[in-house]
Amino acid sequence: MKRNQLLKKTKSEVEEGGIDLLTSYINGEETMQYGLESDDKFLRDTILNLMVAGRDTTSSGLTWFFWLVLTHPEVEAKIREELKASIPQEAAEKSRLFNVEELSKLHYVKHLSLYPPVPFQHKAPVKRDILPSGHHVHPKMKILFSLYAMGRMESIWGKDCLEFRPERWISERGTVKHEPSYKFLAFNAGPRTCLGKEVAFTVKATSLVQLPNDN
């Protein structure tokens, strides 16, 4: 039904009516550019996955984030400074909605290395192999790894690995410092990267913009 509705509209009509998540997937540039599957069954399964998998993980991530902020006043102060500098608000606009471009300016929001919503994961080898550690693996094995522990490893994050320090994610130029996806595994990596990664950061930023108005 949604696909048929979009086919009857011009691009400008679609944009004027507002673009929802399903519309974005149907008309996605990457889907068209790389010839990715976008039939109704695929879209149904993808949206259902986002709805189910993104509920508990998002609530868990936000809960830990606000707990960390409340227990670190200096971090809260810096977040408020960034919000006021990046997204100035007039008193009359306290309830307005923010667009993706405005939310993308917020860089001081990473924390998932300490408290990933999914604390551990497992993988299954497709064939016999030897890991760099020297361990032999085969298809009937499940390899468990702890994202919670990896976010606290001094060999990966340095001596301050146990500290809640959002600055570690910001470069000297004030932009987001992109760590290799296989180092920061809260959203998995490679072709198995979480479909809701950007959705998660957008939801968090959407919650953050209310901080200056929370008196």
161 is in an annotated binding site: no
Backbone angles phi, psi at 154, to 5 degrees: -60, -35
- Contact between 103 and 209 under an 8 Å Cβ cutoff? The reply is yes
Which residues make Cβ contacts (< 8 Å) with residue 206, sequence separation at least 6? Answer: 98, 103
C-alpha gyration radius of the chain: 20
User: How far is CA 104 from each of CA 6, 7, 135, 205, rounded to the nearest angstrom?
Assistant: 27, 30, 42, 8
Residue set of the binding site for heme: 194
Residue set of the binding site: 194
